[in-house]
Amino acid sequence: MLTLETAQITQGSFTLHADLTLAPAQTYAVIGPSGAGKSTLLGALCGFIPLRAGRLLWQGKDITQAAPGARPMTMLFQDNNLFPHLSVMQNVGLGLRPDLRLGSAEQTRVHEALDRVGLQGMAARKPAELSGGQQSRVALARVLVQARPLVLLDEPFAALGPALRNDMLDLVAALAAETKAALIMVTHAPEDVRRIADQVIFVEAGTAHPPQPAAALMDNPPDALRAYLG
Ligand SMILES: Nc1ncnc2c1ncn2[C@@H]1O[C@H](COP(=O)(O)OP(=O)(O)OP(=O)(O)O)[C@@H](O)[C@H]1O
């Protein structure tokens, strides 16, 4: 359980209010108009943006002040955050050891993660020697070896074509189900919500609303959500 308790998150003159709880092993879509505060919400959960008020609790423990690396979550960035001078193996290995001194058990874990995302045989390549979809898979393998209970994604795979995007979304959802991780994904695409989300966090007018079951909400959206969906 991850709880944002009467939280206020400030970016310049903008303030986002959030009072919500996320359950384990659920898939959450974060949707809402541009500039509503979706990235702000993820930044606060990850620890990149401090809370101005309120608390963040993980399994009842206060982690409001915890550094990003000490939190139970990992973030998949839109640009994949790969290092061009490092091999695929090293880029994934960073998720286990920042100094890259991987023991044999750790190397095995990296190879297993590469196999799982369909990149067997590509460990020695550099990111520039991969397609866009393969680069996204490297970033996913790094998330996989970290094995954190929460995975945050901010408009992932936006640069990929529709078919590849859907493949990647399905892969992320499958990996999350296997590892029992919760997924929290910002998206602008209502079809993504129907594709993988159990719950929706609607962000609008300075508030991140508590999660609601995705199917019922999308079938019968309240006025503000209907206006956003168009
Ligand atoms: N570093 C910053 N300094 C000042 N204001 C900021 C900063 N970052 C974001 N904002 C403002 O905070 C508000 C929320 O931004 P945020 O990026 O969270 O929105 P979003 O819902 O993710 O938008 P989009 O869908 O366009 O990516 C916006 O009004 C934005 O202009």
Ligand 1 pocket at CB < 6 A: 11-12, 14, 32, 34-40
With cut-offs at 50, 70 and 90, classify the pLDDT of residue 81: confident
Nearest-atom number in ligand 1 for the CA of 43 is: 18
* Confidence at residue 186, expressed as pLDDT on a 0 to 100 scale: 95
pLDDT digits (tens, 9 = 90+) for 92-122: 999 999 899 999 999 999 999 999 999 999 9
Q: How many CB atoms lie within 10 A of CB 213?
A: 12
Q: Atom 8 (ligand 1): residue with closest C-alpha? A: 11
Report CA Rg, the chain.
18
Q: How many CB atoms lie within 10 A of CB 90?
A: 17
- The answer, yes or no, to whether residue 3 has pLDDT greater than 80, is yes
With cut-offs at 50, 70 and 90, classify the pLDDT of residue 165: confident
pLDDT average, residue stretch 205-209: 95
With cut-offs at 50, 70 and 90, classify the pLDDT of residue 203: very high
Q: How many CB atoms lie within 10 A of CB 56?
A: 21
Question: In this predicted model, which residue has the larger pLDDT, 201 or 164?
Answer: 201
* CA 72 to chain CA mean position, Å: 12
Is 44 in contact with 7 (CB distance < 8 Å)? yes
- The answer, yes or no, to whether residue 54 has pLDDT greater than 80, is yes
Question: In this predicted model, which residue has the larger pLDDT, 159 or 117?
Answer: 117
Round the average pLDDT of the chain to a whole number and report it.
Answer: 93
Is 92 in contact with 113 (CB distance < 8 Å)? yes
Nearest-atom number in ligand 1 for the CA of 203 is: 21
Which residue out of 13, 17, 38 has the highest number of ligand 1 atoms within 8 Å of its CB and is therefore the one to mutate? 38
Nearest-atom number in ligand 1 for the CA of 12 is: 4
Q: What span, in angstroms and rounded, lies between the C-alpha atoms of 161 and 133?
A: 9
- The answer, yes or no, to whether residue 67 has pLDDT greater than 80, is yes
Q: For the chain, what are the domain ranges? A: 2-72+149-229, 83-147
- The answer, yes or no, to whether residue 153 has pLDDT greater than 80, is yes
Fold classified for 2-72+149-229? Rossmann fold (3.40.50)
Nearest-atom number in ligand 1 for the CA of 37 is: 18
Q: Position of tokens 């550099």?
A: 126
Backbone φ, ψ for residue 31 (5° rounding): -125, 160
* Confidence at residue 189, expressed as pLDDT on a 0 to 100 scale: 87
User: What's the CA-to-centroid distance between 178 and ligand 1, angstroms?
Assistant: 33
Percent of the chain with pLDDT over 90: 77
- The answer, yes or no, to whether residue 78 has pLDDT greater than 80, is no
* Confidence at residue 229, expressed as pLDDT on a 0 to 100 scale: 86
| Residue-wise burial string across 131-145, b where 16 or more C-beta atoms lie within 10 A, e elsewhere | eebbbbbbbbbbbbb
Question: In this predicted model, which residue has the larger pLDDT, 66 or 156?
Answer: 66
Is 76 in contact with 31 (CB distance < 8 Å)? no
Q: Atom 28 (ligand 1): residue with closest C-alpha? A: 35
* Confidence at residue 208, expressed as pLDDT on a 0 to 100 scale: 98
Query: How much is the ipTM here?
Result: 0.97
Nearest-atom number in ligand 1 for the CA of 186 is: 22
User: What's the CA-to-centroid distance between 118 and ligand 1, angstroms?
Assistant: 35
